[in-house]
Homo-oligomer: A and B are copies of this chain.
Amino acid sequence: MSKQVRTAIEPTREENYAEWYQQVIKAADLAENSDVRGCMVIKPWGYAIWENIQRILDGMFRETGHRNAYFPIFIPKSYFEKEAEHVEGFAKECAIVTHSRLEDDGKGGLKVAGELTEPYIVRPTSETIIGESFSRWVNSYRDLPLLINQWANIVRWEMRTRLFLRTAEFLWQEGHTVHETHEDAMVETLKMLDVYAEFAENYLAIPVIKGEKTEGERFPGAVSTYCIEAMMQDRKALQSGTSHFLGQNFAKSSNIKFQNRQGEVQHAFTTSWGVSTRLIGALIMTHSDDNGLVLPPRIAPSHAVIIPIYKTEEERAAIMAFVEEIRLALKAVRYDDIPIRLEIDDRDMTSSERGWYWIKKGIPVRLEIGPRDLQNRSVYMGRRDKEAKDKQGLSFEELVEKLPVILDEMQENYRQRALELRLSNTKQIDGKEEFYSYFTPKNAEQPEIHGGFADSHWCGSTDCETQIKDDLKVTIRCIPNDAKTEDGTCICCGKPSKRRVIFAKSY
């Protein structure tokens, strides 16, 4: 049996989810590992997804009053020492620059030289270095709110890495804002959480749960951390964005003070919030299938590919003229505020080979054009949300008119499918035995596949949280913002509880 007859990706999700993930990335040519400890190379098709994420989020940040800036990649060790919890959280996995020169080692190689008087840390996050600038920028309440965002690369030297999900270097944006009052900063924290949730749902087609992290899962140095959590196809949770209310902690360590409306000098309130290239991992694991990558149209690098099919030079000339006509017509069509983006794949391969190439890359729509289509002035359309063989004829006019509608339909289909997966794998569980059974893998060969999300009562104690983590590798993903007050008993200790939280295994 040929491989193509089965699925384009081997193993399937069912067979080995973790390996399937790597194979989807490979088949879609999104990224690859490098020789550099835990660092990845983001290839053009993967990077184009990131560029779309940037373009859309950047517009949303701008509309909410934020401006971009850029701060040094290096953080002096002394800055890092200022916030105790913060350094505790990041000191164990950082890249440290200690020297400034390479010299001939006398053996045909190079040795490091020029030791620095103070080592620099490659930023694992920029609160401390940005705080240093903010302490100079902020003097009066008139300077507030200060709403800044940075697009940057970040380094955290994790030991176990995985393309997009956890890499030593990654790309992200980090918002850093300064406010007059506790309330203003909290409003900002939640507003940006909403921006992330809206982006995830409307553009990535990833439905998310908004909520607050427990104390143990907070950002090091934050007063409170909010997050959006999504369910992947293996039922595990993936944290897809965080927004931190930092209170006056970083304002104190960075000395961000201002004269308030009463004429007194006080410390400001700050927030920070970020999403990273990890979102691409979320995108892959939410939508892709056993034939490769699936991309929601609003985030896809290209919306459609034209695959011309011909045998003779004569046919080629006629078909390519029609292709050009379609290209020009679609260029004028806008989808989601940008012109339709088109690939034309005229490579010397069978139409089936080319079709599968683009299926694996997740392009939303494939348009085959052969001699018969040319005669009818039509195209033969395949959609990534349908079976590969399930194609449909469309006239030139229908195509130009309907393509944006079809793309919207696909976008919504993907979102619905992801939402249904989460809803049907989220369970209100009130008994401890059921809870433990829910999170125990049914299949020894696929230990990752288990129940899903549990919506269960928790008394609020760190002991119970730790107990469950140790027993099941299950953590509290968040206390949902929309959780209702409700009487119940803690799933772990049985003591009274006032609300349910989301428990899950996670990435």
Stretch at the interface among A72-80, A259-267, A432-440, A494-502: A72-80
Q: Contacting A68 at CB < 8 Å: which of B44, B101, B121?
A: B44
Please tell me if the beta carbons of B44 and A120 are within 8 angstroms of each other in the complex.
no
- 9-56 of chain A: CB within 8 A of chain B: 32, 34-37, 39-44, 47-48, 50-51
Tell me, yes or no, whether A95 is within 8 Å of chain B by CB.
Answer: yes
Please tell me if the beta carbons of B36 and A51 are within 8 angstroms of each other in the complex.
no
Please tell me if the beta carbons of B47 and A68 are within 8 angstroms of each other in the complex.
yes
Q: With A93-B101, A129-B36 known to touch, is A155 a contact of B70 (CB < 8 Å)?
A: no
Cβ of A301 to closest chain B Cβ, rounded Å:
9
Please tell me if the beta carbons of B110 and A71 are within 8 angstroms of each other in the complex.
no
Which residues from B are CB-within-8-Å of A100?
Answer: 93-96, 157
Tell me, yes or no, whether A326 is within 8 Å of chain B by CB.
Answer: no
Tell me, yes or no, whether A399 is within 8 Å of chain B by CB.
Answer: no
Please tell me if the beta carbons of A69 and B96 are within 8 angstroms of each other in the complex.
no
Closest to A50 in B: B70
Please tell me if the beta carbons of B93 and A69 are within 8 angstroms of each other in the complex.
no
Cβ of A395 to closest chain B Cβ, rounded Å:
31
Please tell me if the beta carbons of B97 and A74 are within 8 angstroms of each other in the complex.
no
Cβ of A433 to closest chain B Cβ, rounded Å:
42
Which residues from B are CB-within-8-Å of A35?
Answer: 76, 79, 132
Tell me, yes or no, whether A426 is within 8 Å of chain B by CB.
Answer: no
A contact residues, total (Cβ < 8 Å): 62
Q: Contacting A101 at CB < 8 Å: which of B32, B41, B92?
A: B92
Which residues from B are CB-within-8-Å of A95?
Answer: 74, 97, 100, 120
| Distance of A93 Cα from B113 Cα, bound (Å) | 10
Tell me, yes or no, whether A229 is within 8 Å of chain B by CB.
Answer: no
Cβ of A261 to closest chain B Cβ, rounded Å:
14
Please tell me if the beta carbons of B96 and A109 are within 8 angstroms of each other in the complex.
no
Cβ of A160 to closest chain B Cβ, rounded Å:
14
Please tell me if the beta carbons of B73 and A102 are within 8 angstroms of each other in the complex.
no
Tell me, yes or no, whether A98 is within 8 Å of chain B by CB.
Answer: yes
Which residues from B are CB-within-8-Å of A70?
Answer: 41-42, 47, 50, 171
Interface centre among A70, A81, A136, A157 (most CB of B within 10 A): A70
Q: With A110-B77, A129-B36, A133-B34 known to touch, is A44 a contact of B72 (CB < 8 Å)?
A: no
Tell me, yes or no, whether A393 is within 8 Å of chain B by CB.
Answer: no
Q: Contacting A91 at CB < 8 Å: which of B74, B96, B97, B110?
A: B110
Tell me, yes or no, whether A169 is within 8 Å of chain B by CB.
Answer: yes
Tell me, yes or no, whether A492 is within 8 Å of chain B by CB.
Answer: no
Which residues from B are CB-within-8-Å of A74?
Answer: 36-37, 39, 95, 169
Closest to A171 in B: B70
Tell me, yes or no, whether A122 is within 8 Å of chain B by CB.
Answer: yes
| Distance of A187 Cα from B340 Cα, bound (Å) | 31
Cβ of A53 to closest chain B Cβ, rounded Å:
13
Please tell me if the beta carbons of B102 and A122 are within 8 angstroms of each other in the complex.
no
Interface centre among A41, A42, A80, A103 (most CB of B within 10 A): A41
Please tell me if the beta carbons of A67 and B81 are within 8 angstroms of each other in the complex.
no
Please tell me if the beta carbons of A36 and B72 are within 8 angstroms of each other in the complex.
yes
| Distance of A48 Cα from B149 Cα, bound (Å) | 12
Tell me, yes or no, whether A99 is within 8 Å of chain B by CB.
Answer: yes
Which residues from B are CB-within-8-Å of A50?
Answer: 70
Please tell me if the beta carbons of A48 and B67 are within 8 angstroms of each other in the complex.
yes
Tell me, yes or no, whether A300 is within 8 Å of chain B by CB.
Answer: no
Please tell me if the beta carbons of A39 and B69 are within 8 angstroms of each other in the complex.
no
Tell me, yes or no, whether A293 is within 8 Å of chain B by CB.
Answer: no
| Distance of A386 Cα from B262 Cα, bound (Å) | 43
Tell me, yes or no, whether A148 is within 8 Å of chain B by CB.
Answer: yes
Q: Contacting A148 at CB < 8 Å: which of B44, B94, B101?
A: B44
Closest to A170 in B: B70
Please tell me if the beta carbons of B69 and A43 are within 8 angstroms of each other in the complex.
yes
Which residues from B are CB-within-8-Å of A32?
Answer: 133, 136
Which residues from B are CB-within-8-Å of A39?
Answer: 72-74
Which residues from B are CB-within-8-Å of A48?
Answer: 67-68
7 further contact pairs, Cβ within 8 A, besides A94-B100, A112-B119: A32-B136, A35-B79, A41-B71, A87-B102, A92-B101, A92-B102, A97-B97
12 contacts between A and B (CB under 8 A): A35-B79, A36-B74, A36-B120, A41-B72, A42-B71, A48-B68, A73-B122, A80-B110, A92-B101, A92-B102, A96-B100, A98-B112
Which A residues lie at the B interface, using CB under 8 A? 32, 34-37, 39-44, 47-48, 50-51, 67-77, 79-81, 87, 91-103, 109-110, 112, 116, 119-122, 129, 132-133, 136, 148, 152-153, 155, 157, 169, 171
